[in-house]
Amino acid sequence: MWNRRDWFTSLGPVAAAKVALTQTLIAAESPAASVADRSSSIRITKLTATPVARKVYLKIETNHGVAGWGEIDQLEPYVAAMLARSLFELLNGENPTRIEFLWQKIYRSHRDMRGGPFMTHTLAGIDMALWDIAGKLWGVPVYRLLGGPTRDKVRVYPSATATKVGAGSEQFSGTPADMERHVRNIEQARKRVGPNGMVMFDAHCALPPPFLIQLASAIKAYDITYIEEPAVPGNMEAFKRIKQHVSIPLAIGEQARTIWEVIPYLSERVGDFLQVDMAHTGGMSQLLKIAMLGEAYQVPIAPHSVTTDLGMSASLHVSASVPLFLIHEYYPSITPKDLVQKTWEVDKDGYASLPTGTGLGCEVNEAKLDELSKQPAKPEWPTRGRLKDGSIADY
């Protein structure tokens, strides 16, 4: 068995030199020969966390002058901003393109604090910003780094052809009047979108299982696409009970953080759609993994979203790149005027175009951000989850 050196020796000095020269020329002309990690010297130098109302906007800067933006959602904003600033010590001096490495570094930074909403929501904002930087460095939209788009546009709701009816907190056992109120709302939604439209019902974890099971029977005639958040997370037996008695498909996972909390829903077969939120579950990196888990079970994603256009842009990149996808939640009114400049639009049929440009395909107006950060915001918690007798209910 000859090796490469023996083969060259057998050719003689002149022939070996010709072969070596030919191989060098071929390599020089090959596109692969010019590929290099031109960003290997890039390092994270700064993180700025700015609370505005119920959101926190993150800006991660680098020594190459490239910056990325992320959004932290559904946390007490001043605590979330402080946590992000504290976590910067794990990012300072690191290469921002090592996205998975940095995600794991932060998530596993303390064995007693891994996971949980404060960690994963804050990590989601950091993850968005790192993907934004990576896309800008390589001059492509982020979905190109995720394998490219699998669709040309992304369906969103609410729109003229897709709508959702929401529920508030209800007593454990509903009255006929309570049932009729929900049925009437769903009937009106079906009339608005017509027979070809989609109607979703959001139970908001607020309807006790007996109430929801009764209601599901009453609304069966209106062809609901899915019931969202049918039960409070953490009690798999409640989900199994509802799935056993309700024939309408169930969308689960809005409050599921990371792949590890999604696995039980799939293995127990209690969810028909993964309604996970990129800003809750740990960012784009986790949403992509969750979509892959769902694909293995033939369960599409139908992402929840109450972020501004910044977070929505990040979620659109993942939704555009995965094969099993149903529809994406989107509320334009959440974004303060003139704060985020996005590169995608929603058409009259309720489809969002794919983001263009590099990175996430949107930028934050920093002057407007500074202005908004100085305005006071009232907390929303005191008004939620109260029953008629004053007791605390799930929401």
pLDDT in tens, 268-295: 999 999 999 999 999 999 999 999 999 9
pLDDT of res. 10 = 57
Same domain, yes or no: 130 and 160: no
* Of 116, 139, 162, the domain-final residue: 139
Q: What are the backbone angles phi and psi of residue 250, rounded to the nearest 5°?
A: -115, 135
The pLDDT of residue 174 is 75
What CATH number has the domain bearing residue 80? 3.30.390.10
Residues 133 and 172 in one domain: no
Residues 205 and 351 in one domain: yes
More confidently predicted of 5 and 202: 202
Of 139, 157, 172, at which residue does a domain stop? 139
Residues 71 and 92 in one domain: yes
Q: How confident is residue 300, by pLDDT bands cut at 50, 70 and 90?
A: very high
Share of the chain above pLDDT 90, in %: 78
Query: By residue range, what is the domain housing residue 311?
Result: 145-360
pLDDT tens, position by position, 20-38: 545 554 445 555 555 556 5
Residue 99 burial by Cβ neighbours in a 10 Å radius (0-12, 13-18, 19+)? buried
pTM of this prediction?
A: 0.89
- Output the pLDDT for position 201: 97
What's the structural domain count of the chain? 2
Burial of 356 (0-12, 13-18, 19+ CB in 10 A): exposed
For the chain, helix (H) and strand (E) counts, in that order, are 14, 13
Kindly report which listed range (25-39, 40-54, 106-120, 366-380) carries the lowest average pLDDT score: 25-39
Task: DSSP letter for 31, please.
Answer: G
Return the sign of the alpha-carbon dihedral for residues 385, 387, 393, 394: negative
What is residue 7's predicted lDDT score, i.e. its pLDDT?
47
Q: 221 and 86, same structural domain?
A: no
